[in-house]
Amino acid sequence: MRWMWIDRVTELDEGKRLVAIKNVSLAEEHLHDHFATSGDTPALPVMPMSLIIEGMAQSAGILVGHAQAFREKVILAKVSKATLDCEAPAGITIRYTATVERMDASGASTKGIVEYVDPANGHSEEVGAIDLMFANIDHNRAGVVFPEHNFVFGEQFKTLLRTSGVEIPS
């Protein structure tokens, strides 16, 4: 994974619930493209909703992968529901809360809540819900064989977990 859309895991109840945060910063290049100055319209740097959904997918994917000790290659199979009230402006912290709804050998389904937290005053506001389905691709019905190494949960994810104080199952 080249791009990380979460900065830290703040809570992990193994196999049940994960809370992660993303600090939206003007230092991120993608903010300047969404939305750039145009004519008389000033710039409005925001994190696009598609990347907010990806942040939830990474959070929930870590929850599902961690529950299986990262033995399975867990990939996003379906966005069942995604409702977001607004993009995330620079300076805000996004809090993702992912909860496992169902998990078995073929994959998992999760429910997610997205909140914006204002670091200046700690005020939080729920701004959306994202429900996802994941597949364990080594258990695919097509019989496709994937490489042995877990290319889904690479070193970036392991570094994120270690720096968050999360034990990585061996």
Catalytic residues: 34
Tokens of 87: 């993009």
Decide: 88 and 52 in contact? Cβ < 8 Å: yes
Residue pair 64/137 in contact by the 8 Å Cβ criterion: no
Tell me, rounded to whole angstroms, the distance of Cα 8 from its chain centroid.
Answer: 10
Residue 161 parent element (H or E)? helix 155-163
77, two tokens: 């199979």
CA distances in angstroms from 166 to 21, 36, 48, 72, listed in the order given: 14, 38, 28, 18
